[in-house]
Structure 1
Amino acid sequence: MRRVVSFLVRNWPLKLGSIVLASVLYAGLVLSQNVLVLPDAVPLEISDPPAGAVLLDSLPEVSNITYFAPADVGRGVGADDFRAMVDLSGVQPERTGGQVTVPVRVRAFDTRIVVRDWRPRQVTLRFDPVATLNVPVVVDLGTVPTTLDLGPPAADPPIVTVRGASSVVERVRQAVARMTIDASALNVDRLVDLIAVDQQGEVVSQVQIEPDLVQVRIPVSEREVSRSLPVVPHVVGTLPPGYQLRPIEVDPLAVTVSGEQSVIDEMTSVRTEPIDVAGRTTDLETDVLLAVPAGVEILGDPTASISIGIDAETGSRSFQAGLTLVGARPDRLYTLSVPEVVVTLSGPLSVLGSLDPRTLVTTVDVTDLDAGRHEVPVQLEAPEGTSAGPISPALVGVSISAPPTATPSPSPSVSPTPDATVLFTPSPSPPFAGP
């Protein structure tokens, strides 16, 4: 027994150290099998930032996080299971020239996870005192359609406050409300976001604008244009049958109109107010107003002088007419080859339509003709307002002979003078349906 005790206590420090070393090596072997590396970066957060100071730099992300975790936990761990922070409580940037170096701390939300290492282990942050500045609001209209006219824009409020790091705020010159104007010609009245810009118009970030929205109002109207357009008479009403319009004379032939472009673009001419010619048979001269759409103005005299000529429609018509002898002798017998002829008259259709064929007078002049057969031209006296055209036939055969001798008988002391005898003396006949 004494030998056993002597063996155990001999060189006991060396034996104890060997046991501890073996335990450490075993623990390291076991733990090394559960050391994991987080593949994702974790955003760095600030705790208790200093009052009256603004961070100038963007915070880096924390990566290369290694940790120990049980086998049933480690494989499902992600970036959301960790939190990386820098604690700025008690930090006074104004005493360190605005620059401080602080350690980065990383912990796991699950207490079974032990964070071993991460990068970076510390960060250097720059701070600036907080400053405020009042700047004017400027409305940037962007590209305005060429068809629009814009009134002066108004922003409410016209001045806003910019807040941020003093070195950044001092660069700001104005807050810009950037607009997009469409071609609808509707007035603008809406809330618009503000952007801080410097002297060159470059955007200045990392500042706050209070308020960050302004109400922008802009009167919008379509741009007025002018154009010369022809004047077109607006004639209404129907002329009586047999009458027609001559080409209408207009003075001036064209006028200049001014108005919104969308309206002017739709116009091809300027019409007059209605001119009524219903029932007219004579010419008409009048001054009449020009009619334009709402919003369109006539530059100059808004009236036009209109001259409308009205003519009777002309044509021709054929009639049948009986023949009358002129210059016949009472002691002769006259025989005509035809009892009537066809005559053609030209003139206004209204006159021809109302003409009574019984009033037509066609004559055959037999004055100084001796007995025998003769070809005598037919003559026509055209009614007023008409002119004579062809006569068919133009020549009529006339046979002239002495009447048969009568048996002598006692005669009264006074006897009447005998008249000329005409065979085929025409009687009035209905009109011939000519062309």
Structure 2
Amino acid sequence: MRMLERIDAMLNSRLFLRIASVVIAVLIWLYAAGERNAETVKTFEVSLEYRNLGVGLTLSDAPDKVNVQVTGARNILAAMTPQNLIATVDLRDLGPGRHTLPVTSLAPSGVRITTVTPPYAEVQVLRLIEKTLPVSLNMEGTFPEGVSLESSDLDPREVLLRGDEALLQKIQKVTVVTTPQELIRGEGFLELPVRLPLSGRVEHLSVIPKSVVFSYTLKRDLPRREVPLRMHILGEVDPDFSVTSITVDPPSVILQGPSAQLDLIDQIDLMPLDISGMKETAVFSIDIVPPVGNDNEGLLPIRSATIRVTISPKSETRMISGVRVGISGKSIYPNWRVEPGTVEVVVKGLPSALENLPEVEAYVDVTNLVSRRATVPVRARSKGGALEIVEIRPPNVTAYAIVD
């Protein structure tokens, strides 16, 4: 009984509790340290490096990454990145062809590489060469009637190919392609891409330059046809005037184009010209109406014509009867009379002036007359000067001096 009491007293003593606490702390520390230093496994995706490739060679179809599995302390692997690992393939002394080469990997101190996936890299080594080839033109399609290629040139006429030797041996020519429609729409030159006789995507092949300039001239020898220009006049000139002439410059045009289009054109119309109320000669520039629709607009050698409308005043005559003959001037005789006392006067002027006929007066001049009886000419004038005196009938009358 005393033994149990002693054991219980010892377990409840402060010294025992202190010793137990220290022992437990040491055990916990030992467990944690063991966990940190315990080994673990981790896999990294690492970029694959290719070294010692010969001059004038390049790689094709080469993998660029491998998976590297490493083992080491947990705390060390937790701080690692793929950049801490190195994976390489040695290409020393390799020639053109396919090769299967081991992947060599390196890890930092304290880390052990367990596996590399894949352990081998399959690569194709290509020999790069240069080759110069002339450029040929390939015309797809035919020119329309009357159009042909008169001259052409390519700049440059040759291109440089750089790439895999085996591939370049298969290429014997390079081309540029165009169509007659492109040349007709162009302005004498086109930049055309160089084409290779290969299909699909091609790697490790370059063309210098990638395009060439194609300069050219076209010969146009289409049928020609002379076609008159036709005027369309609207309205009337002022009633006092008339149109003397209407001239068109040029009176006709020579069209050049496909026969099928020319056969549809007998004449070409000008835009209508309104001459309403005109009183003087004028010159106009009148647009041409494209023939048979917009498709034939390209046939027109000119787009407008010069129209000259010559206008002259109208002149009409009218006879006025019973015009009294008056006396004008002074003589030694104070009074005079004439026989016959009236005359007919023929006048000329604009229609509007004749429509509202102004007063016309006739007279004889007795100045310096000394004879009591004399034959004198009759003169006439219109008031306002709107009319021209054409004729007086009779042209002469007899003048008698009145003496008391």
TM-score bin (small chain): 0.3 to 0.5
TM-score (norm 1): 0.41
TM-score (norm 2): 0.43
